[in-house]
Amino acid sequence: MSVDVLIAGGGNAALCAAICAARAGAHVRVVEAAPKAMRGGNTRHTRNCRVAHDAGNGILTGPYPVDEYMDDLLRVTDGNTDPELARLTLERSAEIWDFLEAQGVRFQPSLGGTLSLGRTNAFFLGGGRSMLNALCRMAEDLGVDLRYGTRVTGIEIEDGFFLSATTEAGWEGHAPVRERVPARAFVAASGGFEANIDWLREGWGDAAANFRIRGTPYNTGGVLRTMLDAGADRVGTVDQCHAVAVDGRAPQFDGGIVTRLDCVPFGIVVNRDGTRFHDEGEEFWPKRYAIWGRLVAAQPDQVGHVVIDAKPADLFMPSVFPPEVADTIEGLARKIGLDPAALRATVDAFNAACLPGRFDHTIHDDCRTEGLSPPKTHWARPITDPPFRAYTLRPGITFTYMGLRVNRDARVLFGGAPSPNIFAAGEIMAGNVLGQGYLAGIGMTIGTVFGRIAGTQAAGALRNARDGVAS
Amino acid sequence: MTDTPDLAALATASRAEVARQMQICNACRYCEGLCAVFPAMELRRDHAGGTADYLANLCHNCGACHYDCQYAPPHPFAVNVPAAMADLREESYARFAWPSGPAMLFRRNGAVVAVLVSVAVAAFLFALAGRGEGGAAGDFYAVMPHGAMVAVFLPVFAFALLAIAMGVRRFWRAAGPLPITLGDLRAAMGDAILLRNLSGGGMGCMTAGERPDPWRRRFHHWTFWGFALCFASTASGTVLHYFADWPAPYPWYAPPKILGVPGGLLLTAGAAGLIAQRARRDPALRMASDARMGAAFTWTLLLLGVTGLALYWLRATPVMGPLLAVHLGTVFAFFLTMPYGKFVHGIYRTAALVRHAHEQRQSRVPEAEAPVETPGRAVNPGAGPARP
Ligand SMILES: Cc1cc2nc3c(=O)[nH]c(=O)nc-3n(C[C@H](O)[C@H](O)[C@H](O)COP(=O)(O)OP(=O)(O)OC[C@H]3O[C@@H](n4cnc5c(N)ncnc54)[C@H](O)[C@@H]3O)c2cc1C
Ligand code: SF4
Ligand code: SF4
């Protein structure tokens, strides 16, 4: 059977596109680089999706109008967004709940530990993998040809017009099983390039070797590279990404959500030399969590260590790896490979600078330091009660923003002109909306909105003749 | 006889594996909405020992969290909650069983039950051979007098009840003492009877793969209610015999028949369905142990249902005598193995649900978490007004 719409990817964006194209009557093939058991890219690690809505619905606890969503986006990106595409995304985010529910996705109230998102974000029952399973079931039911363990390795493009792609699926003897797949439209939904350490080096230098990639190892950016080489317009810069500080013991890839550490506001963070480098009590953690990836990346060896004492041990979400524990600061320093005297000096200086106050981790309390640089402006309590605990921090890359420039039809631009039959959705074009910064849950929003548009438009593009002019 | 708390408190590999996985789940929590296990897990930071047994018995093995897990194998974290829970559950039945003697009853449970059923059936066939031929057609007591039945079955039934009660007491204590209230009991019974936790958070059970379907839960309902009706039928017979002076055989409209026939049909269909479901089950969800405890139990139930129904249809024919022997032999073996096989799953699970009901009522989930805030607006539950 000939392929009308070929889709590279296997996450939320790819499946939303596949479902919409199939519903519009197209023969759709989805090629997913990962094997079935690991399908779904970063989508399998997600928990929710930020959606605009005019009223709460029993699960979402209150209204979240488009304008408020827009304000939030402008604030986190510092205006670094395409206003037209941003507004389109947020307006159409209001359709996401119903759309996903119709595909069999189910929602639940916000998870324990994430109450701050209960109003704005729709949480998937069973998490992102459950959500993805529902999309896959629906795609299968609609007759979509889902191929796992199959990568797009080459794309034949002529003047912005897609002709065919080369796919590789496994090996036969000494050669990969290659297939040339001509199709009438192509959707690039293959994620960012965060799992490509060499590419990350272009933005981060050798520091990239110490990064943890929170999501799938399959997002290596091959499709993005090929498209850029074929003349597609680029959006964003190579170092822009969502980066957080994660537990340093996380595996290099695919550690997912559990490597998150929420303990920073409760202690101090020192670098390899045992020195503090930033105000740990600057803001509530969810608001600051995304800057610590970059802060740690800027430290020698890209490593940080949170040190807390016994007092706050149960005040934050449990960690997946147990902390290093010792009865003395010096003992702790030895366990985590720091100079005991240096850590002792840092802790002593910090303790001496803590002003008395009333500790309350649910508000900006008045526990702060005086005469210390950098200061700790809230939740500062002397680190005195053994046992002492330490967690290691590393930069954790969620996903990269540099990608393909698109228009409102999700068409990829070549030299400013929209392609007649090449579309992009999801991480690979997220940079159009997210120039910098991040808003929890907007990754899935971008993927769903543009996945739907790309699928529908790709099916519509079938009617365009080879020489037809792009809309 | 004395308790052997050492056995019950034994640290085991299955317990350690459940505790390891729960540590990952507690940092993740994506499955929170699927069943009772996850909210129960979130109340704790340590899931070792009796807590692991408790959580394992709270799991209804719907399979959902395996297909929904971002850390399922081949991910190196290798989280497979249903399989880990199933392993520990079976181990816990053995560990808490009273008296705590013969572990082999559990290790090769399928074989043990099969042998016991065969032996019991053979014994009854031998003992009842040729009896009742002169009696009225359909008169069971002509084959085995009522007094003899009571003398044989009452002690073994009473012993089974005692053994189960002792076992569940050990199980209960291992997770920590807790007062039992009527409200908790009621809530737990509701959950147990409706099998709320066997629905994958509403989507259905996952048996053969990631497509949920309602059948396993349905078959379980049929089996349970079928069994309950059969039990009620027997009980009503006893009541009629002793208190209403209305001995068997009964006409079709008498309580033992009205309850027993639909009960037998449901039990047979349900058990057969569960056996078919087990054959379809994704190997990833199978437990590591090959004790075949579940299989032995379901097959015994099926045999109970089939022989009971056969007796109903064929009681006026010459095969009634041997058939009754087969049925009574099965019942005997069933009673005998009740405390030492899959039967206890219902009891332990209900006990776990009681504990769960209690905990959920007592503890609002503590906000053991970092401070939370939505930019621009304080939404800290329980937080006072923000100070300037
Ligand atoms: C730990 C973690 C938690 C997150 N939580 C959230 C959240 O709660 N809410 C939210 O909105 N966002 C979240 N995100 C971000 C979110 O995952 C992404 O924004 C979203 O999944 C992007 O969807 P996508 O379909 O574009 O990419 P992906 O889901 O990553 O899918 C890309 C797919 O392309 C495939 N692929 C790559 N190269 C090729 C090739 N050459 N040929 C064929 N296939 C290829 C990959 O195998 C993969 O399946 C999270 C990310 C991480 C890592
Ligand atoms: S089973 Fe997997 S996805 Fe579910 S809570 Fe546990 S670790 Fe998370
Ligand atoms: S009941 Fe289902 S969702 Fe809950 S732990 Fe067991 S298998 Fe997982």
For residue A470, pLDDT over 50 is answered with no
Render pLDDT for B62-109 as a digit per residue (tens, 0 to 9). Answer: 999 999 999 999 999 999 999 999 999 999 999 999 887 666 788 888
- Contact of A360 with A381, CB cutoff 8 Å: no
Check: CB of residue A392 under 8 Å from CB of residue A270: no
Q: Is B61 in the pocket of ligand 3 (CB under 6 A)?
A: yes
- CA B225 to CA A66: how far, in whole Å? 52
Using 50, 70 and 90 to split pLDDT, how confident is the model at B388? very low
Q: What is the pLDDT of residues A313-335, one digit of tens each?
A: 889 989 999 999 999 999 999 99
**Position A111 confidence tier, pLDDT thresholds 50, 70, 90:** confident
Contacts of B370 in chain A (CB under 8 A): 113, 262-263, 265, 284-286, 315-317, 361
Q: Which of residues 50-89 of A touch B (CB under 8 A)?
A: 72, 75
Q: Give the residue-averaged pLDDT of B106-121.
A: 89
Give the chain B residue whose CA is nearest to the CA of A284.
B371
CA-closest residue to ligand 3 atom 8 = B65
* pLDDT tens for each residue of A374-425: 999 999 999 999 999 999 999 999 999 999 999 999 999 999 999 999 999 9
Of A126, A258, A363, the CB nearest to B68: A126
B60 lines ligand 3 (CB under 6 A): yes
Residue of B nearest to A289 (CA): B370
Question: Is residue B31 lining ligand 2, measured as CB closer than 6 Å?
Answer: yes
CB A17 within 8 A of CB A189: yes
Whether B151 shows a pLDDT value over 60: the answer reads: yes
Say yes or no to pLDDT of A245 above 50.
yes
Residue-level pLDDT at B135: 54
- With cut-offs at 50, 70 and 90, classify the pLDDT of residue A60: very high
Cβ-contact A233, A348 below 8 angstroms: no
pLDDT tens per residue across span B232-287: 998 898 889 888 888 777 888 999 999 999 999 999 999 999 999 999 999 998 88
Q: Is B352 in the pocket of ligand 3 (CB under 6 A)?
A: no
Query: Tell me, what's the ipTM?
Result: 0.95
Measured distance CA(A17)–CA(A142) in Å, rounded: 12
Q: Please check the confidence at residue A207 and state whether its pLDDT lies above 70.
A: yes
How many contacts does A have with B, using Cβ atoms within 8 A?
158
Rounded to whole angstroms, how far apart are CA atoms B95 and B12?
10
pLDDT score of A119 more than 80 = yes
Tell me which chain B residue has its CA closest to the CA of residue A133.
Answer: B210
Among the partner-chain residues B28, B68, B74, the one whose CB lies closest to the CB of A130 is B68
pLDDT exceeds 80 at position B132: no
What spacing in Å lies between the alpha carbon of A178 and ligand 1's midpoint?
A: 25
Q: What digits encode the pLDDT tens for the residues A283-317?
A: 988 888 888 999 999 999 999 999 999 999 889 98
3-state percent helix, strand, coil for chain A, nearest multiple of 5: 35, 25, 40
Q: With an 8 Å Cβ cutoff, is A363 touching chain B?
A: yes
Residues of B in contact with A286 (CB under 8 A): 370, 372-373
Is residue B251 within 8 A of residue B257, CB to CB? The reply is: yes
> Angle B109-128/B320-337 helices, nearest 10 degrees?
140
- CA pair distance A225, B74, nearest whole angstrom: 29
Note the pLDDT of residue A113: 74
Name the residue facing B373 among A44, A254, A287 (closest C-beta).
Answer: A287
- Round to the nearest angstrom and report the end-to-end CA distance of chain B: 67
Q: Is the pLDDT of residue A433 over 50?
A: yes
Closest-CA distance of chain A to residue B7, Å: 28
The answer to whether A386 and A328 are in contact (CB under 8 A) is yes
Point out the ligand 3 atom lying closest to the alpha carbon of residue B197: 1
Q: What is the mean pLDDT of residues B345-352?
A: 96
Q: How crowded is residue B261: how many other Cβ atoms within 10 Å of its Cβ?
A: 18
Burial class (CB in 10 A: 0-12, 13-18, 19+), A341: exposed
Nearest ligand 3 atom to the CA of B62 is 2
| Lowest model confidence (mean pLDDT) among A24-38, A86-100, B273-287 | B273-287
**pLDDT tens, position by position, A257-290:** 999 999 999 999 999 999 999 999 999 888 888 8
Q: Tell me, what's the pLDDT at A288?
A: 81
Within 198-217 of A, beta carbons closer than 8 Å to B belong to: none
Which residues, judged by CB distance below 6 Å to any ligand atom, belong to the binding site of ligand 1? A 8-14, 31-34, 40-43, 45-49, 151-152, 189-191, 214-216, 218-219, 222-223, 256-257, 398-399, 426-427, 441-444, 447
Q: What is the mean pLDDT of residues B185-207?
A: 91
Could you tell me the pLDDT band of residue A465, with boundaries at 50, 70 and 90?
A: very low
What is the pLDDT at residue B2?
43
The pLDDT assigned to A339 comes to 97
Q: pTM (2 decimals)?
A: 0.93
For B136-148, give the secondary structure using H, E and C.
Answer: CCCCHHHHCCHHH
In tens, the pLDDT along A125-172 reads: 999 999 999 999 999 999 999 999 999 999 999 999 999 999 999 888
Percentage of residues in chain A with pLDDT exceeding 90? Answer: 90
